[in-house]
Amino acid sequence: MSDALATRDALADVRVRAIASNGSGVADLADGRVVFIPRTAPGDRARVRLGKVKRKWAQASLVELLEHAPGRVDAPCPLFDTCGGCTIQHLAYEDQLEWKGLFISDALRRIGGLEVDPPKVQASPQVVGYRNRVSYSLRRLHGGRVIAGFHALGRPAHVIDVAGECLLPEASLRTAWTALREGWGRGARYLPAAGRLRLTLRSAGEGVALVVDGGAPGWNATDLAESVPTLTAIWHRPSGATKVTLLRGSEHVAPGGDALRWVGDSFLQVNTALGEVLRDFVLERAQAADRVVDAFCGVGAFARELARRGAAVTGIEVDPAACAAAKHGAPDSLDVVQGRVEQRLEEALPTDLLILNPPRAGLHESVPDVIRASAPERLIYVSCDPATLARDLARLSNTYTLAEVQAFDLFPQTSHVETVAVLDRSGEDS
């Protein structure tokens, strides 16, 4: 490959050899650079157009498939070529699971310094129609036109309009999204007056709740509620606000194990069926502990059940509404403290077991030192990002030994995977 070819907008023919953790195909250019191409599969021979080009790597877009990989399947979604979601639905589901296991072991090796075989990835009972929560971006354009949907492939600032095409939401959410689009009025006038909004639909008991992010305070949701009776609750968080307010309906009780109460934007796993399997896995690994700290406890998916089983549990959660939901109807042996984990963890220790379920960014840089200072016998780390999991495990490696890794495919058709790492204190802290 000539120097001229390795420039932006140049064409190159490549053979895809792997899948990157973001779902892009991985190939090699003639000059040795690695190139990442969305919507390609291992074994594809593809003609690609180079985009961003760096010294060691490049990004490209697919121009033409010259040869199809044996494992490639037809993507079922009609928006696959334009939507930025569902990055690997062109792979057979068995191959999706295999690659996700490789994503985890690769991150643990490269970032965490841990030699771990690719873990088994627990398959989802449903590969479509599994999401109990879906968020859409809404944009108001000139002339009263409204576009609402997902961010475009390769153009994250652009929104593609999505009607009923998306296959991932539960059936009730797809029905509610259609009703909402038909009922929000011309120019979405029944929604808050803002150029940009984020609309989240959530399964809520027997109905569907809507959480609206954006717009000014004081929005009256009456017209929307009357126009879209499918919605059993409407919540609003104005632009710049941290609190979400219930405007219509009532707080709902989530189905499942301990009748968890949730508030509008509180965290629950998006895959209800497999989320229960993950929860049972964590509870089984936690059952021997008498004292537990559940950091990032949310509405108490783990903490409430462990307290019910007799453990003395301290939950830590930054969202005060989620704290109240976690305590609602819980045993007296559950204490929930409000605040950031990096600010409240030290006072909650020592303990027998520490459960960590952080957001995608992982642990604050100060938290591993706090953990090592008190060193609970066991850690259970629930992670939605293998890279930040690996980074945090490396920070704890002098004190803990990785005892078990199990993965759960909570997000079929996407490159995301949920991992549970069980760590036991090694007694070799340096």
On whether the CB atoms of residues 337 and 316 are closer than 8 A, the answer is yes
- The 8-class DSSP code of residue 83 comes to B
Task: Report which of 286, 277, 325, 319 is spatially closest to residue 305, judged by C-alpha positions.
Answer: 286
Q: Which two tokens stand for residue 268?
A: 């629950």
Amino acid (1-letter code) at residue 198: R
H-type helices in 26-163, by residue range? Answer: 93-110
Residue 154 has a CB neighbour count (10 Å cut-off) of: 13
Q: How far apart are CA 422 and CA 355, in angstroms?
A: 9
Q: How far apart are CA 96 and CA 87, in angstroms?
A: 10
Q: CA-CA distances (angstroms) from residue 39 to 45, 80, 93, 152?
A: 12, 9, 15, 13
Q: How many CA atoms lie within 13 A of 403 on its CB side?
A: 13
CA dist., res. 46 & res. 126, Å (int): 31
Short-list 64, 74, 69, 86, CA closest to 12: 64
Q: What would the two tokens of residue 275 be?
A: 């989320």
Whether the Cβ atoms of residue 399 and residue 413 lie closer than 8 Å to each other = no
Query: What is the side-by-side strand order in the sheet with 25-28?
Result: 11-15, 45-53, 57-67, 34-37, 25-28, 18-19
Any catalytic annotation for residue 83? no
Candidates 338, 336, 314; CA nearest to 326 is 336
Q: Measuring CA to CA, which residue among 430, 408, 401, 417 is closest to residue 116?
A: 401
- Write down the catalytic residue from 77, 83, 86, 384: 384
C-alpha–C-alpha distance, residues 312 and 289, integer Å: 9
Cα gap 225→222, rounded to integer Å: 5
Would you name the residues annotated as active-site residues? 384
